[in-house]
Amino acid sequence: MKISKQFFFSVAFLAFASSTTNVFSADPAKAKVYDDVIVPVLSAKCYDCHGADKDKSKLRLHTKAALLKGGKDAGAKIIVKGKLDASELYYRISLPNDDDDVMPPFDEDEPHNPVTAEELKVLGAWIMAGASFDAKVADLKGDARKAAEHVLKNLPKKKESSAVSLQPKLPEVPAANAKVLGELRKMGLLAMPIAQNTNALYVNASYAGNKFGDEQAKKLSGVSTQTLWLNLARTKITDAALAEVAKCDKLTRLHLENTEITDAGLAQVAKLTNLEYLNLYGTKVSDKGIPHLKKLKNIKKLFLWQTGITKEGVADLRSAFVDAKAYAKLEADRDRLKGEVDKFRASKEKEVTKLDEELKKANTTASSKEPVNEKCPVSGKDLDATKKSVLEGQTVSFCCDKCKAKFDKDPSAFRAKLKDFKPSETYAKAKEKLETAKEAVDLGVEEKQGVLRSVLVQLRASGPYVNLGWEAPAQEK
């Protein structure tokens, strides 16, 4: 009963979430950045996989302690105070929607709910300011504060699951004949209501495998009025069985992957005018079947991996669902924006590399020959003036070569023992310039990627989602 339970609880949760959204919006003058802005974003877009009930990649984000702890791979680097580049959470949610590593991930079977430009700007500003859980919205400056106030007024909502989205579309149909259902189940088929309080059925013959063929498919006619979802994947059916499938005129989801159907069979599939999801993975269909697929005017997701359908065939298919000129413009905008992001990053990286070299030079160039320390930072003994190193533009002396070698290997391990140590003015200025340049790169790339994300969302929404395999969805090429 997995499907019906999932559907029931999804509907119940959606009703509760919808009734409470924005009720607890905080006063901008009193609101905290983390509690009142970031938490609602994480709750709506991250907790399903990284919350109290699930810890994908051993990562939970629903408490402050869990957030700071991080996950299996990133660990504490999930948030690195003052550093966007090193903060895994910021990096993953700032990726373009078509990136394999973007979070929240794009799932072809679920609606996508990406972090918005305003939400990302607030998170970035919060991290750069030290990621304090006590920071207030009023402490933010300029665009970051405006973004926070925008989010407070437009708190994000959870996107409903595909099961919930089907709820208002369920047709009213009479109950299926109990004897027919019994016969289907004896054949090894799963036949069950899609949800509670409905006679609409989910029928799955994939468990029967080779035992289910064209002859057995004739039994589907007994539930043709009730069947809304049908899974015939990995069975022995051929094109002949699709004449029976075509009788299920209310069908919205159809799995035919890894069967022997061909382009000829698609003529029967084309009769299923309510079809929204069609999986043809691993079948013998080709570009010759495209005219039939064009007739599926309600199709939203189409899987064509490892078939004879080419990219050219997909382009022809999409022409039946989109405004060709508008789609071409979106593709041109996508390519242009990707180029702008790459060009901007490349140009700024040259500047960052130059400033990084200046910092390294400032780090190894002493502002004075006199040591800043009175005792050896390694042993605590008196100094030998001939044993010296340079740290952050300041001369540091040691008692012996052995201590000098230990310090040079890992200066950070002994830096705290240099009482009242301060880097040279030259080093401090070089470091500030480098950090400012890196922040400018992060913010500039984020801004441009925000525009790019908008275009990618429009592309994905233009006509059905078409998947040709691991390369990428066809419409995002």
Give mean pLDDT in consecutive 10-residue pieces for the chain, a chain of 477 residues: 39 37 61 90 85 80 84 72 83 74 66 80 89 90 89 80 52 92 93 89 93 95 95 96 95 95 96 95 95 94 93 86 82 89 88 93 93 94 94 95 95 90 94 91 86 81 76 42
Altogether, the residues listed in the chain come to a count of 477
* Three-class DSSP labels, the chain: CHHHHHHHHHHHHHHHHHHHCCCCCCCCCCCEHHHHHHHHHHHHHCHHHHCCCCEHHHCCCCCHHHHHHCCCCCHHHHCCCCCCCCCHHHHHHCCCCCCCCCCCCCCCCCCCCCCCHHHHHHHHHHHHCCCCCCCEHHHCCHHHHHHHHHHHHCCCCCCCCHHHHHHHHCCCCCCCCHHHHHHHHHCCCEEEECCCCCCCEEEECHHHHHHCCHHHHHHHHHHCCCEEEEECCCCCCCHHHHHHHCCCCCCCEEECCCCCCCHHHHHHHCCCCCCCEEECCCCCCEHHHHHHHCCCCCCCEEECCCCECCHHHHHHHHCCCCCHHHHHHHHHHHHHHHHHHHHHHHHHHHHHHHHHHHHHHHHHCCCCCCECCCCCCCCCCCCEEEEEEEECCEEEEECCHHHHHHHHHCHHHCHHHCCCCCCCHHHHHHHHHHHHHHHHHHHHHHHHHHHHHHHHHHHHHCCCEEECCCCCEHHHC
The whole-number pLDDT of residue 74 equals: 60
The whole-number pLDDT of residue 445 equals: 85
The whole-number pLDDT of residue 372 equals: 94
The whole-number pLDDT of residue 107 equals: 60
Its pTM stands at: 0.46
The whole-number pLDDT of residue 472 equals: 40
* Ordered structural domains, the chain, with CATH: 22-156 (no CATH), 170-322 (3.80.10.10), 328-441 (no CATH)
Sign of the torsion angle spanned by Cα atoms 98, 100, 106, 107: positive
The whole-number pLDDT of residue 112 equals: 66
- How far is the C-alpha of 398 from the C-alpha of 417, rounded, in Å? 12
The whole-number pLDDT of residue 278 equals: 96
CA 177 to mean position of chain CA atoms: 43
The whole-number pLDDT of residue 18 equals: 37
